[in-house]
Amino acid sequence: MAKGRESKPHIGIFGRRNNGKSSLINALAQQDIAIVSEVPGTTTDPVRKSMEIPGIGPAILVDTAGIDDTGELGAKRVARSLAALKTVDLAVLVITANRFDESEQHLVEQFKKQDVPFVVFHNKSDKTPLDEALKQQIEQAYGAPVLSFCALKPDNLGEAITLLRRAMPETAYRKRSLLGDLLRYGDLVVLITPIDNEAPEGRLILPQVQAIRDIIDNDCVAVVVKEKEVDSLMKTLHPRPGLVITDSQVFLRADASIPKDIPLTSFSIMLARHKGDFENYLRGTPKIDELKDGDRVLLLESCTHHVACDDIGRVKIPRWMSHYTGKKLDYDVVAGLGELPGPVNEYSLVVQCGGCMITQKQIKSRLAQAIEAGVPVTNYGMAIAWMHGIYHRAVAPFTKLKETKEDYL
């Protein structure tokens, strides 16, 4: 499974080599989905497996290499295991034989650094029972529950599942509505969806599908139209839309066609508010005006797809930004959740896509290093709206909502 291709909750399994991490995954999934061997170091790179967890739903289990791996290659494996923390919502630390030393303590420090909640499974308890004093010590020192477990004879599997469900942050699996706080019962929402060479054959892109489902879930009506038919639609449409959402690439056309008293935003900005770092986006977007000749701009496209000749991230945004600023800028594009081509502080701006295929934790972890380094961050849709002069209208549905709530409180 490609890294970052799933927006389901991610559970990372961490620990020393041969502690039974892969066996634990098989036990939790109740099927042989991870390779198990008595040879230490069988798992070399993080491996992702999908499973259903009662009370949580579909989730991704991430099997990692042992944190005590040795040698130059082993060090790279450990680094990749730690890097997986940026993508997980919950960590499981697997220990055996009542061993909780520097390696485990270092892992816990990394959990806390990445703000990842964790639980501890004492595996192979059929061979060496969990020491009650160690259990109390860990729970008191770190506030993490410790479970005695045997992956090969998982008699208390139900207890293990319950432990995971209780430790998993609700934000990782309880889906907030995309638009529910903007809509009233029966509202009509118009979705402007261009069908061009970037559109997938025979279907809509994921943000459009997500928006339609959310509108229906909120007992409202969705009307889907191409940008060429918007003008004729608005002449006959009744009742007037309570909201219009457009593809960011046709923002100018939508702005001209939709009356100013009707709220207008984009799919990308909708996702930016829903799962991105919206407050930092609001602060970072105006920094586009401060770009200078020679500045580097990083575009983060957190999925992989076929690159079209007029790709939004690789072609259109760089073209619009260079034209808008009048500066000679350098651009790097990173697809998926891979490593950056260089230190983030070498960039003057980071532009994140909507992130429809990854989790909120993955987006915020992705952006955290830029924010910590003082590098402004923005979002595809928000940057496009800014460069086209309709930024304030495009973010108004969400900023006005916030102001109203603050006034109410």
pLDDT tens track for 210-246? 999 999 999 999 999 999 999 999 999 999 999 999 9
For residue 337, the model assigns a pLDDT of 76
The answer to whether residues 146 and 249 belong to one domain is no
Tell me the two tokens of residue 360: 């909120």
For residue 198, the model assigns a pLDDT of 65
Mean pLDDT of the chain: 87
The answer to whether residues 289 and 209 belong to one domain is no
Tens-place pLDDT, residues 64-87 = 989 988 888 888 888 888 988 888
Q: CA dihedral in degrees (35, 37, 40, 44; nearest 10)?
A: -20
Structural domain contains residue 237: yes
Q: 388 falls in which pLDDT band (50, 70, 90)? A: very high
Query: What's the rounded Cα separation, in Å, for the pair 84 and 82?
Result: 5
Indicate the residue type of 154: P
The answer to whether residues 45 and 154 belong to one domain is yes
The answer to whether residues 132 and 39 belong to one domain is yes
Q: Count helices and strands (H / E) in the chain.
A: 14, 14
Indicate if the pLDDT at residue 377 is higher than 50.
yes
Looking at the chain, the whole-number percentage of residues with pLDDT higher than 90 is: 62
Helix axes 267-275, 360-372, angle to 10 degrees: 80
Tens-place pLDDT, residues 191-203 = 999 987 666 677 8
Structural domain contains residue 177: no
Q: Give the three-class secondary structure for 305.
A: coil
Please, where are the H alpha helices in 114-205?
Answer: 132-142, 157-167
The answer to whether residues 165 and 49 belong to one domain is yes
Structural domain contains residue 84: yes
Q: Give the three-class secondary structure for 303.
A: coil
Structural domain contains residue 178: no
For residue 201, the model assigns a pLDDT of 72
Tens-place pLDDT, residues 133-186 = 999 999 999 999 999 999 999 999 999 999 998 998 876 666 678 999 999 999
Alpha carbon of 309 to those of 2, 76, 199, 285, 316: distances in Å? 24, 36, 12, 26, 10
The answer to whether residues 157 and 23 belong to one domain is yes
Q: Name the domain count of the chain.
A: 3
Pairing of strands 349-352, 47-53: unpaired
For residue 7, the model assigns a pLDDT of 63
For residue 48, give the CATH number of its domain: 3.40.50.300
- What are phi and psi for residue 265, nearest 5 degrees? -145, -170
Question: Which structural domain, as residue segments, surrounds residue 332?
Answer: 277-387
The answer to whether residues 87 and 56 belong to one domain is yes
Indicate if the pLDDT at residue 39 is higher than 80.
no
Beta-carbon contacts of 75 under 8 Å, excluding residues fewer than 6 positions away, are: 69
